[in-house]
Structure 1
Amino acid sequence: MLARDWYYNERSRIGLDNAVASICGAADDADLRARAALKMLGVKPGWRVADIGCGNGVLACEAALIGAEVDAIDISPAMLALAELYTRDRRAAVRTQSAGLLSFAYEPNSYDLIVSEFTLHHLPDFWKAVALARIFAALKPGANFFLRDIVYVGVPDGTERSIEQWADFAIKNHDFSRDSVITHMRDENSTFAWVMERLLTEAGFTLISTDYHAPLHGTYLLQKPAEQG
């Protein structure tokens, strides 16, 4: 086995990103949004589902209540503890795993659906590719991967818009504090939307749909191609 002293330390990113916290915080309608997403994804009883970067566990819980067999995965001990409390209160049978995109345990071709929301941007692009390859391997042929993340939909224009003006535009089009956006741009690893799409397709996924409905927000529905007979 290769030595791991060079391996990216996912745990070093815990607690850095306030911009994501402002998206994923205590939204009153989080359970309704999770149900809508799971309905759109066609989740059925008996499916094996993984939520990587599960946060407070709302989506994992709702999937379990549908009857799916759910793995709620998060590298943050605090988030995983919240997920365990939330699912216990809702009496939802969910397995938790203290791991990240580069370390979650899986059997190849085992999941009917993998979801990851606002987690992939913690990794530099090389490690994003490694994570996507692991997700691809974990999915059954024909299964879907649902990804939401902070991405840069627009490109700073050096002749017409300074980086400060570009940041201000992003801030004004979101309900983010200036400090949270500055922290994200300085310390996190969000990438451009066109780079994200290339990373996803290079991993082997078929891009079913994309939605860039805000300057820093991308939603992707992807599919692992079915095995060819």
Structure 2
Amino acid sequence: MTTYDQNLSADTTAPPREAADVKDTVRSVYQRVAEEYDERIPGAGPSDDMFTAAERSFLLNKVKAGQRVLDMGCGTGRFTVPMAERGAQVTGLDLSRAMLDVLGGKLAARGLHAELREGDMAALPFPDESFDVVTSMLALMHIPLEDRPKVFAEVRRVLRPGGRMLLGVKNSLIERLFKADRFASVDVTDVTAKELVFTRTRTGEEYTAPWYSFSPQDLNALFATEGMVVTQLRGNSPLAVWLADEVLSDPAVALAVQSFERTLCDTPPFNHLGYHLLVEAVKPRH
């Protein structure tokens, strides 16, 4: 069973036009790709498999049955579904109703329940202290830059004391060294233009949406401003990103790289050099 609701925020202040334009563009793109999104997201090759396994392990090992979880920018449920399968009480939030419709179909097919809300991360339609955990994997890069402080303030507001945020974002430090999209298949990040480009769509058109990466310093500052404490900053693929799939196709090499990355990913300064950043931050109890 799935519940839908519209975003009814108490904040009636109109966002800056630039921010509104960014959100309209993001919503429009995902409305158009929703039906094909699940065909587009999987990467191909051992580096993608290692990246995805590390991402899933980080998030799913930290979410427990019975916890109230808000999955911001949930899309078609890449993490909403497995969290619900593990017994979490999940609410999925997304700008795109079409993406939520796809997710609703998945939940129904599996006999799972989640509340699905169409809304904006910068004005969350939930009471204070509603959730034990807030998650957001890859969606924060679509936030307009001027909305970043609002989003992190909203996360703190809806978290219970002692609650945690778990997030995954692209690392802007790596982009200074490596501008190509290492894991691109059909959805390609254009670092210079700060866009995510959807290529080879069913319509034959290319769609673009704004895409702003984060540095470790950005994340530390945003959490510190809200009085939240970063308890883990993990670099996803600090080593594999530099290796060709032909090299990683050797099982012995892949196993050695995975073992080495398990050490490097949480060890400064190597954790700051992951292709993506995986972060846990806690709202103090007092």
Matched, 1:143 2:152: no
1:180 partner amino acid:
V
* Alpha-carbon contact 1:75-1:98 (below 8 Å) kept: yes
**One-letter amino acid matched to 1:98:** E
Secondary structure at 2:172 match in 1: coil
Bigger Rg, which one = 2
Specify whether residues 177 and 65 from structure 1 end up closer, same or farther in structure 2 by C-alpha distance, changes over 3 A only: closer
Aligned to 1:161: none
Letter in 2 for 1:123: I
Structure 2 unaligned regions, length at least 5? 1-10, 196-209, 238-273
Range with bigger deviation, 195-204 or 5-14 = 5-14
RMSD: 3.3
> CA shift at 1:38, angstroms?
5.0
Letter in 2 for 1:139: L
- Percent sequence identity is 19
Q: Distance in 2 between the 1:49 and 1:130 partners?
A: 19
CA distance in 1, matches of 2:87, 2:186: 41
Query: Could you tell me how far apart the structure 1 residues matched to 2:186 and 2:76 are?
Result: 24
Deviations 1:70-107 (A, max 9, x none): 11111112211111111111111111001121233111
Which residue pairs with 2:25 in the alignment? Answer: 12
Aligned residue for 1:149, secondary structure, equals strand
Q: 1:152·1:192 contact (CA, 8 Å) conserved in 2?
A: yes
Q: 2:41 aligns with which of 25, 32, 38?
A: 25
Q: TM-score, normalised by structure 1?
A: 0.77
Query: Aligned residue for 1:223?
Result: 282
Mark the CA change 1:104 to 1:79 in structure 2 (over 3 Å): closer, same or farther: same
Structure 2: how far apart are the matches of 1:201 and 1:177?
Answer: 36
Change (3 A) 1:148 1:38: closer
* Superimposed CA distance per residue, residues 163-221 of structure 1 (whole angstroms, 9 cap, x where no aligned partner): xxx4xx3426x222598222762542223332222112222210011112345411101
The residue number in structure 1 matching 2:136 is 116
1:223–1:74 Cα change, 3 Å: same
| Structure 1 residue identity aligned to 2:194 | M
Question: When the two structures are aligned, how many residues end up with a matched partner?
Answer: 211
More displaced 10-residue stretch of structure 1: 213-222 or 109-118: 213-222
Q: Distance in 2 between matches of 1:3 and 1:39?
A: 36
Q: 1:163: which partner in 2?
A: none
Q: Match of 2:216?
A: 193
SS class of match (1:220): strand
Equivalent residue for 1:72?
92
Unpaired runs of at least 5, structure 1: 157-165
1:139-178 aligned at under 5 Å gives the runs 139-154=159-174, 156=176, 166=177, 169-171=178-180, 174-176=182-184
Q: By how many angstroms is 1:123 displaced?
A: 1.9
